[in-house]
Structures are given as C-alpha cells and as structure tokens.
Amino acid sequence: MTAPGMQRPPQPMNWQVNKLQLAGLSWGEPGDRPLLALHGWLDNAASFAFLAPRLTSHHVVALDLTGHGKSARRSADASYQIWDDLPEILGVMDALGWESCDLIGHSRGAIISTLIACAFPERVRRLVMLDAVAPDAVLAQNFPLQLRKALQDKMLLQARSDRVFTTTEEAVVSRAARGLTSLAAATLVERNLCDCAEGVQWMTDPRLRGASAMKMTEEHIQAVLNALTMPTLLLLGQDSLGRSPETAQYAQRHIAHLTVQVLAGGHHFHMEAGVAAVAQAILQFLSAEDVSNSNEI
C-alpha cells in the first residue's frame, strides 16, 4: 500500500535465506542509496508504507521478519528471541548485494537494529531508531525465573491456533484498538491476514508472544550501545507511552554519536499524520556530513 499522495508504490520482494522464505517490500531504485527497514513486534513491512515513499533518493527495503507478515514461521524447535533474526537479516543484505547500508528500525526492530550495528558496524553507515533503544534489562539472578517462563510459554503457544475473524474489518478494529489509526491498522492488517474456512486469520506466529529464554542484563545493553560507532538518530513520539526523558538521557550516556528528536505522535508516529516531519528529520540526518551529539527534547 502506498501512502496517500505519494508516487513511489512498493514492489514485493522475496528471498530464501537459511531455508526460510522471507518477504518484504521495496521503494525506489536499486541504484539509490540503500536503506534497510525493520518493523516492530507483531507488525510487518507495511509499517513503512507511509514513511518509505517520502525517503526519496533511497532504495528502501522493508522486511517481514520471520513469523510476521508474508515471511515464513520458524520451525517448531526454534525461538523468536531478538537475536534470532540477525542471520536472516544479514543474508538479505548479502542477497541485495549491500556490503553496507543505512538501517532504520521501529520498536522491536530498533532494538534488533542495535544488535546488528554493534556486531557488524562496518555494514551500517547510519542508524535510525524509532521510539526504542534497548529492551528492559533483567537482573542476572532472575535468569531461572525467565527460563521457566519461556519454557511454559513455549508449551502453551505451540498449541495455540491462529486468531480467526469473520471479516477483515473486524480484524482492523481489533488492531486499531491497540493505539493505531484506522488507516494504519488497515495497512498492517492487509499484509497480515489469510483466508480460512471461518473468514480470515492472522498469519503472525503466536509464539512471538512468548517470553524469551534469555534477557539482556544492564551490562549487556551498555556494551551494545557503547559499540555503536556510527552516527545514530533516535526519534521519539511525543505521545508514546514508552517515551520518557530517561530514555533519551540513557541513550546519550552510552551512544557516542547520537542525535535525539521528539516528534508529534504516538508509538507508531511514522504511520500517523506527522509522517512528513518524520521523513524530513530522517532525510536531514542521512544526508548530514558532520557527526553530532545533541538533544533536541
């Protein structure tokens, strides 16, 4: 789906990486500056349908991460921890012929982006994080409880069926109830449903709702952020439930070359009325020559 008034319709893309069928959307031309986009939890590549057409002069490729949208689910023995997607993301970059690219992530996708960027800084030119920096830290001594919760969730969710709706409209209402506009919800839902005997059902893997067996400690998180050597932009939604001054302050303490801006909107501000301002901030950052460390809150 193309954002209203934009002239860069998306093109479907598919890859097979590590025997998993992955899907995505692209905007722009292969010769343009490469930009990889990673969506948030339970979203899909259409999360960037409003933003990507405005990122002119860039070849934007947005993935459906495994278990989301039109990409394959992982095998029954596998998990969906935040680092599990990294081999496939790197594989897609290789398939595209991108030795390096700009990287943008929203929410869970932003957190995954920091992991790629800290482990392979030579492959990330500039990093953009939308409304997230790092997961909540877990004390090391809580690992047994975390492991127990993960194993319980795995057994429970393995047997859970995909949610069924009578109509697509019913699914859109359900998605919009979690803080999205109707248009944004419809855009995501369109890429996340398939037909079934009773109507339509989610394609998202229910196991994505399960607890991770291993959570990062404060020391892990600081090590990740300290390793981000590339220019980095953190955009926060003014009305996002997760936004607080501490988020920006924490990021600034640990990311060397960071710019922070707060923009109008909620957690999905890149899919809301202020998306033009989001695009402008990103384009200005990606085209900048000087590395800066500033706070515009």
Per DSSP, the residues of 210-260 read SPPSS---HHHHHHHHHT--S-EEEEEETT-TT--HHHHHHHHHH-SSEEE
- d(CA 122, CA 181) in angstroms, rounded, equals 37
The pLDDT score that the predictor gives to residue 159 is: 84
pLDDT digits (tens, 9 = 90+) for 105-134: 999 999 999 999 999 999 999 999 999 999
Mean pLDDT, rounded, for 241-245: 70
pTM of the model: 0.94
Domain contains 273 = yes
pLDDT digits (tens, 9 = 90+) for 53-107: 999 999 999 999 999 999 999 999 999 999 999 999 999 999 999 999 999 999 9
The pLDDT score that the predictor gives to residue 291 is: 47
Domain contains 189 = no
Residue 97 Rama label (left phi>0; alpha psi -120 to 50; beta): left
Banded pLDDT at 292 (limits 50, 70, 90): very low
Task: Kindly tell me if the per-residue pLDDT of 290 is higher than 60.
Answer: no
- d(CA 235, CA 238) in angstroms, rounded, equals 10
Task: Kindly tell me if the per-residue pLDDT of 2 is higher than 50.
Answer: no
The pLDDT score that the predictor gives to residue 144 is: 96
The pLDDT score that the predictor gives to residue 120 is: 98
User: What average pLDDT is seen over the chain?
Assistant: 93
Domain contains 262 = yes
Mean pLDDT, rounded, for 259-286: 96
Portion of the chain with pLDDT greater than 70, in percent? 94
Domain contains 66 = yes
Mean pLDDT, rounded, for 284-293: 74
pLDDT digits (tens, 9 = 90+) for 133-179: 999 999 999 999 999 999 999 999 988 888 999 999 999 999 998 88
The CATH number given to whatever domain includes residue 239 is: 3.40.50.1820
Token readout for 289 is: 């020559």
Count of the separate structural domains present in the chain: 1
Domain contains 83 = yes
| Exposed / middle / buried, residue 233 (Cβ in 10 Å: 0-12, 13-18, 19+) | buried
The pLDDT score that the predictor gives to residue 11 is: 96
Residue 118 Rama label (left phi>0; alpha psi -120 to 50; beta): alpha
CA angle 180, 131, 271 (to 5 degrees): 35
Task: Kindly tell me if the per-residue pLDDT of 243 is higher than 90.
Answer: no
Domain contains 232 = yes
Domain contains 209 = no
The pLDDT score that the predictor gives to residue 190 is: 94
Task: Kindly tell me if the per-residue pLDDT of 4 is higher than 60.
Answer: no
The pLDDT score that the predictor gives to residue 97 is: 97
Give the C-alpha distances (Å, rounded to integers) separating 200 from 75, 86, 109, 162, 204. 23, 30, 26, 10, 12
Domain contains 156 = no
The pLDDT score that the predictor gives to residue 6 is: 58
| Exposed / middle / buried, residue 11 (Cβ in 10 Å: 0-12, 13-18, 19+) | exposed
Token readout for 103 is: 């990287």
Amino acid letter for position 290: D
Which residues span the domain enclosing 250?
11-138+217-295
